[in-house]
Structure 1
Amino acid sequence: MAEIQPIRGWRYGPELSPRIDQLVSPLFDVVSPKQREALYQNPLNSIHLSVPRGADAAGAARARLHEWEQAGVLRQDELPGIYAYYQYFRLPGSSREYCRKGFMCHIKATDWTENVMLRHENTLPGAVDDRAELLARTEFQTSATHGLYRDDAFELEPYLDEAMRNPLYETEEDYQGARDVLAVIQDVAVIRHFQRVLAARPEVILADGHHRYEGSLVYRQARRAAAGAAYTGHEAWNYHLMYLTNAAADDLRILPTHRLLLDLPGIGTPAELLGRLEPYFTILPLEDPYGLPERIAGKPWAFGLYLGEGEAYKIRLRPEVHAQLDWPTTPEVKNLDLTVLHYFVLEKVLGIVGPEAQRQWPGVAYVRNFPECLTRVDRGEARAAFITNEVSMAEVERVCHSGAVMPPKSTFFYPKTIGGFLFSSIADAETTAPFYDAFRAAE
Structure 2
Amino acid sequence: MAEIQPLRGWRYNPTLSADIDQYVSPLFDVVSAKQREALYRNPLNSIHLSVPQAQDPAAAAVTRLQEWQATGILRQDQLPGIYAYYQYFRLPGSSREYCRKGFMCHIRAYDWAEDVVLRHENTLPASVNDRAELLARTQLQTSATHGLYRDEDFELETYLDEAMRSPLYETEEDYQGARDVLAVIQDAAVIRRFQEVLAARQVILADGHHRYEGSLAYRHARAATGNTTGHEPWNYHLMYLTNAAADDLRILATHRLLLDIPGLTGKEMLERLEEYFTVLPKENANDLPEIIAGKRWALGLYLDGQAYKLRLKPEAHALLDWDTTEEVKNLDLTVLHFFIIEKVLGIVGPDNQRTWPGVAYVRNFTECLQRVDRGEARAALIVNEVTMGEVEAVCHSGAVMPPKSTFFYPKTIGGFLFSSIADEETGNLFARIFQAPTA
Same structural fold, with TM-score higher than 0.5 when normalized by the shorter chain:
yes
Q: 1:177 maps to what in 2?
A: 177
Say which of 294, 318, 323 aligns to 2:318: 323
Q: List 4+ stretches of structure 1 deviating above 2 A.
A: none
Q: Which deviations, in whole Å up to 9, do the C-alpha atoms of 1:328-380 show, x marking residues without a partner?
A: 00000000000000000000000000000000000000000000000000000
**1:291 aligned residue (287, 293, 307):** 287
The 1:107/1:441 distance shift into structure 2, 3 A limit, reads closer
1:334 alignment partner AA = K
TM alignment of 1:397-436, pairs within 5 A = 397-436=392-431
Q: Is the CA contact (8 Å cut-off) linking 1:4 and 1:106 kept in structure 2?
A: yes
1:429 CA displacement: 1.0
- Matched with 1:128 is 128
Identity among equivalent positions (%) equals 78
Does 2:363 match 1:361? Answer: no
Q: Tell me by how many angstroms 1:218 deviates.
A: 0.2
SS at match of 2:174: coil
Q: Does 1:264 align with 2:257?
A: no
Shift of 1:441: 6.0
Deviations 1:198-241 (A, max 9, x none): 0011x100000000000000000000001x1x111000000000
- In structure 2, distance between residues paired with 1:323 and 1:245: 36
Cα distance, 1:308 vs. partner? Answer: 3.9
Secondary structure at 2:14 match in 1 = coil
TM-score, normalised relative to structure 2? 0.99
Matches within 5 A, 1:75-94: 75-94=75-94
Determine if contact 1:347/1:353 at 8 Å carries over to the other structure: yes
Q: Which residue of 2 aligns with 1:220?
A: 219
8 Å Cα contact 2:3/2:436 also seen in 1? no
Whole-angstrom CA distance in 2 between matches of 1:54 and 1:334: 44
Across the two proteins, how many residue pairs are aligned to each other?
438
Matched, 1:18 2:18: yes
Deviations 1:298-350 (A, max 9, x none): 001101101143x1011110010000000000000000000000000000000
**How far apart, in 1, do the equivalents of 2:437 and 2:288 lie?**
53
Q: Aligned runs of 1:183-332 on 2, under 5 Å?
A: 183-201=183-201, 203-226=202-225, 228=226, 230-268=227-265, 270-309=266-305, 311-332=306-327
Q: Deviations over 1:20-50 (max 9, x none)?
A: 1111000000011111111111111100000
Question: How far off its partner does 1:442 sit?
Answer: 9.3
Q: Tell me the residue number matched to 1:5.
A: 5
Q: Which runs of 5 or more residues in structure 2 are unaligned?
A: none
Which residue is 1:35 aligned to? Answer: 35
**1:182 shift after superposition:** 0.2
- TM-score normalised by structure 1 residue count: 0.98
Report the residue type matching 2:243 in the other structure: N
Amino acid at match of 1:133: E
RMSD over aligned CA atoms reads: 0.9
For residues 153-168 of structure 1, what are the structure 2 equivalents within 5 Å?
A: 153-168=153-168
Q: 1:53 offset after TM fit, Å?
A: 1.8
Shift in Å at residue 276 of structure 1? 1.0
Secondary structure of 1:16's counterpart equals helix
| Cα separation, 2, equivalents of 1:113 and 1:58 | 30
SS at match of 1:15: helix
Q: Secondary structure at the match of 2:18?
A: helix
Distance 2:248 2:200 in 1: 23
Q: Aligned runs of 1:97-112 on 2, under 5 Å?
A: 97-112=97-112
Give the Å deviation of 1:273. Answer: 1.3
Separation in structure 2 between the aligned mates of residue 9 and residue 403 of structure 1, nearest angstrom: 33
Contact kept? 1:261, 1:383, Cα under 8 Å = yes
Conserved in 1, the CA contact under 8 Å of 2:2 and 2:116? Answer: yes
Query: Would you say the 8 A contact 2:273–2:340 is kept in 1?
Result: yes
CA distance in 2, matches of 1:441, 1:371: 50
